[in-house]
A = this chain, B = another copy of it.
Amino acid sequence: MTHQYTYDYPRAALTVDCAVFGLDDEGLKVLLIQRDAEPFAGCWALPGGYVEMDESLDAAARRELEEETGVRPRFLEQLRAFGAVHRDPRGRVVTVAYYGLVRLADHRLRAASDARDARWHPVDQPLRLAFDHAEILGVARERLRSAVCYQPLARELLPDKFTLRRLQQLYETVLGHTLDKRSFRKKILSLDLLTELDQWESGVAHRAARLYRFTRRRGGAAGPRRPRC
């Protein structure tokens, strides 16, 4: 690394923070840690931490997530930077926020590093968060809502095999409103994203539903609508 052209003014610190969503029977959850260190010790926060000098932002986000919670999301994408001057009591700290999706069942949480505890928290239950993390979470939630119409995000949240009802519930949860069952099934099946299996769910006290699986990688959005421009 060359340093021919030096810049020796005071520098802001740089962190990453991750809003990782998962889905279970109770609804949409977000991954939170309980901070172990000051400031905001004991307070819940998005997992994240300082960016090292020799790692990209994306790598830093994955590393911090892994260190603090053990979670390694398949999907993790940058949201944007948050840089209000006084967002961190330690001084000037700019953070680059990420949002991610995981199959919740695949991940056992293990809190470590700066995290005293790690939990999946229902997104619709407000909770006081450290720093400006409530704002970041809000922006992430909003991004998820709009992205779900354009990107096949459902495959990142659902287990391998799932019922159409489950898929519909996902969309309803993320979008925040109900969808018509027949229209939803017609639409989703017409997109050719799903493979119909000769398997049915089990352990239910009623007629068992057919299971589906996402077809191998294709372009195309899996959503109730796919607007073009």
* A contact set with B: CB distance below 8 Å: 1-7, 9-14, 37-39, 50-51, 53-58, 78-81, 83-86, 89-92, 94, 96, 145-146, 149, 175, 223-225, 227-229
Contacts and interface: CB of A to CB of B under 8 A. Distances in A.
A38 B94 contact: no
A225 B228 CA distance: 8
Interface core residue of A54, A55, A57, A228 (most chain B CB under 10 Å): A57
A56 B38 contact: no
A56 B78 contact: no
B83 A80 contact: no
B1 A86 contact: yes
Given A14-B11, A50-B9, A225-B229, A94 B1 contact: no
29 contacts: A1-B91, A1-B92, A2-B89, A2-B91, A4-B90, A5-B37, A5-B38, A5-B39, A5-B89, A6-B90, A7-B13, A9-B50, A11-B11, A11-B13, A11-B14, A12-B14, A14-B94, A51-B83, A54-B92, A56-B83, A56-B84, A78-B80, A78-B81, A80-B80, A146-B229, A149-B229, A223-B229, A224-B229, A225-B229
A89 B7 CA distance: 12
Contact of A83 (B57, B84, B86): B57
Contacts of A91: 1-3
A82 B6 CA distance: 20
Given A1-B91, A12-B53, A175-B229, 13 more contacts: A2-B89, A4-B39, A7-B90, A10-B53, A11-B12, A12-B14, A56-B85, A58-B83, A81-B81, A81-B96, A83-B96, A146-B229, A224-B229
A6 B50 CA distance: 13
Contacts of A55: 85
A107 B78 CA distance: 33
